Amino acid sequence: MSTRDVPAQIGDLPPLGRPANSALLGAGITTLAQAAGHSRRDLLAMHGVGPKAVGILAAALAERGMTFAD
């Protein structure tokens, strides 16, 4: 799937870059609850997910009283 075909926002995930969205979609992650089931390390290991995307996800999780599985 080309990153041009990836939506700018997925489910209840905050807006991330298309490479990060593509990686998350490829891993079947479409909600914050699913992202919370992974560790920061697991997410950073995905091609396209970098520290900025993980930081944005962490902030969105914190707003909902959730954290990563670290």
pLDDT along the chain (70 residues), means of 10: 64 92 95 97 97 98 95
Domain coordinates in residue numbering, the chain: 7-63
- DSSP state letters, 14-58: PP--HHHHHHHHHTT--SHHHHHTS-HHHHHTSTT--HHHHHHHH
Q: What pLDDT score does 8 carry?
A: 67
User: Which listed CATH number (3.30.1490, 1.10.150, 1.10.3470, 1.20.120) goes with 7-63?
Assistant: 1.10.150
pTM: 0.88
- In 3-state terms, what secondary structure has residue 63? helix
Distance CA 61, CA 69 (A): 11
Q: Are 53 and 9 in contact (CB under 8 A)?
A: no
- Measure CA of the first residue to CA of the last residue in the chain; give whole Å: 29
